[in-house]
Amino acid sequence: PFALANGDTLDFTGPLGSFRVSVATADFAEISEATAEELAALLNADANFQANGLRASDVGGRLVVQTQTAGTTATFTLDGGTAISELGWTGGTTLTGKTTGVSPTLGGSYAG
């Protein structure tokens, strides 16, 4: 869990410009033990987060933020905020999309 406090912030810059997401006690079952799932829900509900084409998710208890577009032109910047150190993030980090594709395959035998 993340030890957040009422009024903590996350600052981003997306395609439409800079914006801030603030956390509030009411957004969490226990703000000092916030889960990645709760944080993802809070971010995904934010109008600016949505308008800038970002999405958040809980992946194995870790908060992941990504763009909803693909390729090397997809980018956003994590500018800072009072909550970034608790999340283990570094302010001023620009994240850029990749063009690496994957081709999953399945193997084995069907016995049913």
For residues 24 and 9, what is the distance between their CA atoms, to the nearest angstrom? 9
Q: How is the chain classified by DSSP, letter by letter?
A: -B---TT-EEEEEETTEEEEEE--GGGSSSGGGB-HHHHHHHHHH-HHHHHTTEEEEEETTEEEEEESS-STT-EEEEEE-TTHHHHT--TTEEEE----------------
Residue 105 corresponds to which tokens in the numbers above? 């395959």
pTM: 0.80
10 Å Cβ neighbour count for 73? Answer: 11
- pLDDT per residue over 59-104, tens digit each? 999 999 888 887 777 788 889 999 988 988 888 888 777 666 677 7
Q: Do the Cβ atoms of 78 and 12 come closer than 8 Å? A: yes
pLDDT in tens, 2-57: 999 999 999 999 889 999 999 999 999 999 999 999 999 999 999 999 999 999 99
- pLDDT at residue 94, as a whole number: 80
Contact status, residue 16 vs residue 25, Cβ threshold 8 Å = no
Amino acid 34: pLDDT? 95
